[in-house]
Each structure stands twice: as structure tokens, then as C-alpha cells.
Structure 1
Amino acid sequence: MSFFYEPPPRRRKAEVVKEHPPWHGPPDDLLGATVGVEQTVFRSETLVIELASAVAFPENVKFHLRMAARHVEGVNDVWWRRRDLMFGGLHHWGNPDRPLEDETIRFGVRFPDGSKGTTLEEKLDFDDWPPPRPTGPVLRHRGGGGGGGTNSFISGHWDLWLWPLPPPEPFEFAVEWPAFGVPLTFVEIDGTEIAAAAGRARPYWP
């Protein structure tokens, strides 16, 4: 008898495929259609936040934001703190167990009917499956962070996921970031092109 022998095959549990609902993120099997938004959300002497583009799907949309910050003479006392915040911005999302901090960047949308969603409410309930359908818009953080820079300049980017698809009319996009001197600011985004682009989303493999 051989000293070494092959172990018996391991019995694997049948994999349960969970189809994520559209308010959780982009569909896995669709290639979204890109729209150039190019809307300045906020601009100051030291910071720019730009809503650069949107990738639209039949039921939802992903927004891509770009940011840039620079050092200006006279604000040296806050530059290094802000620079570190831009690099580590992904760690500064709202925590329901703590008071809202100035370092927490806040994004939000408000539709023409008055319904709204913010990144401070992005935590979804995973205790039940399928998860319950939200009663209002859902805006979720989908990645991003500092993209590089120097001692006097830094850039970054954020991706946000929005469900449901905005209506084909103007809606509001909001940002607030007290630690970076950004007051609550609203800009109007035209949802017409985004809604039209959703109809151009297509499967990766027909």
C-alpha cells in the first residue's frame, strides 16, 4: 500500500446565484452608454469638483466625478490637512454610529418630485434576501480616491451609483464638504441625455 494516497473528492455545496437588484449596482451583463456631462459642481480658489460623465443603464446610472485642489499662498495652515484628506477621502464616509464630521464629503440628488438620496444613507439592508425595495432614490459610493499630485497640487476622482434612472428633465445634484470649505451647493443636471443613453445600453454578448 502506498504511503501517500489521493484524498476523496470534496463535496461542494451547490452555488446559489444571487441576482442583485438594480439599486445595488450596475448590471453584470450590460455595457452602459456613456454621456459627457462636464458640469462644474463647485469651484473655489483652491478646489474644483467636476461631474465629468455618466454611464447609463436601463434602470440606473453611474456618475464619474473629478476633483483637483491646489495650494494658495495664505492658506498654508490648512493645505496639508486638505491634501491628506483628498488622498484618504475614501475613509471619510458617513458613519451612523458617530456625529457627522466635517471631513465627511456628502453627495446627493433631488428629483423634480422632491424625492432625494444621499451618500450618507447608502447603507443597504442585507439581512433579508432579496433585499426590500427602497422607497426613494439610492445614491451609493462606488470607488475612487486620490489620483496623484505634488506638494502644491493634487487630483482625485469619485464614482457614484444612482438608482433609479433620473427622469428626462432637469434634476438637482448636491455636494457639501465643510473641511474643504464647500458649503451646501446645488447644480442643475439635465436628465434628458442620460435617459436617452439608457436606451443604448446593450449586452456584452448578444
Structure 2
Amino acid sequence: MTSRDPFFEPLPTAETEPGGERALGNVPWVPPLNVVPVLLPLAIDVATTDAVVLRLGHAQVYDRGVQLHLEGWLHPDASSRVDGPYGLRSEPRVGLLLGDGTKVGARADDAMAPELGSVAGTSLSRTEGGSSDLRLTQTWWVRPVPTEPFELVLSWADVDVPETFVALDGAAMEVASHGARELWPLADLEGDFGWFA
């Protein structure tokens, strides 16, 4: 191996901004910040029509929950049905049907604020997402890790996708959760956080 000159030029010195100490820790509505998850491939086509393809690509399994990754592709002829000034004006509704019949994320107000979808100790929240004219991605945080079979429920009325049920193996996710690796201790924060705290 030969020695090399430095590749990157030095960055300018950043100015420090005044401010108090920030509370760093995990909050329940997103995956933990200090845990490396186990990747569980799924590759399940949830809905395939002439207008749209929706696919559950994979799950990232943590020690305390599972993040599901949903992707979508829209046909150009269908994009006008859901196109808005800043991306898609509507997106799929997502919920869970637990083995005992409990519905999580089924309420009408969950469609606008799915982080409120919490029933019988199981919560569902949208953690990330984005869309363009013909593509969308969403990630959904399920807490705690399921231990029994459950179903992901999806519908998207604007592109004629009816309620569709996809069976998922909670037991396999529970087994995978034991392989999640905590990197270092981090406190679990309680209370109100974010812009509205």
C-alpha cells in the first residue's frame, strides 16, 4: 500500500451556537437510536394493478419493535388521480389486524395522525416517508415486536386498491429480535418532545 496525500480538503471551522443541553434518548414512537436491527427480507407484493404496485420490501427487527418498509410505483396515467402541488395528495392507509382481532390504525383520525394508533399495548406509527410523481416510500414502526401471526392491512381508494390483508410471521420477527445489537446504553425518554412540547 502506498501513502497518499489527504483526499478531502479541511472543512471550515464550525461556529458553536448558544443553547442548553439536549436530552438524548429513545422515544417509543420511533426505532431506538442505539440498536442495530436485524434485516428480515419480505418481498411481498401487497397490491398489483394496472395503476399501482405496492410492495412490502423488508422489515428491520429491533429489540423492542419492527420497522416495516413499504414502496409504491404509480403508472403515469394514474398519477393525475393522486397528484398534488407538493407530491401525492393521498397515500395508502396502513393498519394492523392482530391475531385476536384487535385493529390498530383503523380509526379515521389515524389516517391523519397514525402515530396515535395504539390499541391493547400495540402501537403503529409512520416514521418516514416521501413521494414524488410516480414513487412513494413509507416506513411503519410496530411496537412491541409481534410474537404471533398478524396481518398488515392496506387500502388506497384513489387508485382503486381495496382493503388488502397480508399475513406476517410475528414469531419469526420475535426470533430475529434476539439478534438486534445494542451499541451502548441510552435512556428511554418520557414526556412530550418535539415542536409541540
Q: Who is 2:23 aligned against?
A: 17
Answer yes or no: is 1:146 the counterpart of 2:131: yes
Q: Who is 1:99 aligned against?
A: none
Cα deviation for residue 134 of structure 1 reads 6.3
1:37, 1:51 within 8 Å by CA — same for their partners in 2?
yes
Identity of aligned residues (%): 27
Give the letter aligned to residue 172 of structure 1.
Answer: E
Answer yes or no: is 1:113 the counterpart of 2:93: no
Q: Who is 1:50 aligned against?
A: 55
Answer yes or no: is 1:81 the counterpart of 2:81: yes
Residue 176 of structure 2 aligns to a residue in which SS? helix
Q: Who is 1:122 aligned against?
A: 114
2:114, 2:124 within 8 Å by CA — same for their partners in 1?
yes
Partner Cα separation in structure 2 for residue 105 and residue 170 of structure 1: 22
Cα deviation for residue 79 of structure 1 reads 3.9
Residue 196 of structure 1 aligns to a residue in which SS? helix
Q: Which runs of no fewer than 5 residues in structure 2 stay unpaired?
A: 1-17, 186-197
1:69, 1:155 within 8 Å by CA — same for their partners in 2?
yes
Give the letter aligned to residue 97 of structure 2.
Answer: R
Q: Which runs of no fewer than 5 residues in structure 1 stay unpaired?
A: 1-10, 93-102, 125-132, 149-153
Q: Who is 1:8 aligned against?
A: none
Cα deviation for residue 43 of structure 1 reads 1.2
Q: Who is 1:129 aligned against?
A: none
TM-score norm. by structure 1 comes to 0.67
Partner Cα separation in structure 2 for residue 19 and residue 177 of structure 1: 35
Deviation string 1:57-81 (CA, Å, 9 cap, x unpaired) is 111110111111114xxxx5x5423
TM-score norm. by structure 2 comes to 0.70
* C-alpha spacing 1:202/1:176, structure 2 compared with 1 (3 Å): same
Answer yes or no: is 1:59 the counterpart of 2:38: no
Partner Cα separation in structure 1 for residue 151 and residue 123 of structure 2: 14
Cα deviation for residue 123 of structure 1 reads 4.0
- Cα RMSD for the two superposed structures: 2.8
1:140, 1:161 within 8 Å by CA — same for their partners in 2?
yes
Partner Cα separation in structure 1 for residue 48 and residue 179 of structure 2: 32
Partner Cα separation in structure 1 for residue 57 and residue 171 of structure 2: 16
Q: Who is 1:39 aligned against?
A: 44
Cα deviation for residue 136 of structure 1 reads 3.5
Q: Who is 2:169 aligned against?
A: 190
Cα deviation for residue 46 of structure 1 reads 1.5
Residue 54 of structure 1 aligns to a residue in which SS? strand
* C-alpha spacing 1:44/1:20, structure 2 compared with 1 (3 Å): same
Cα deviation for residue 16 of structure 1 reads 6.3
1:115, 1:136 within 8 Å by CA — same for their partners in 2?
no
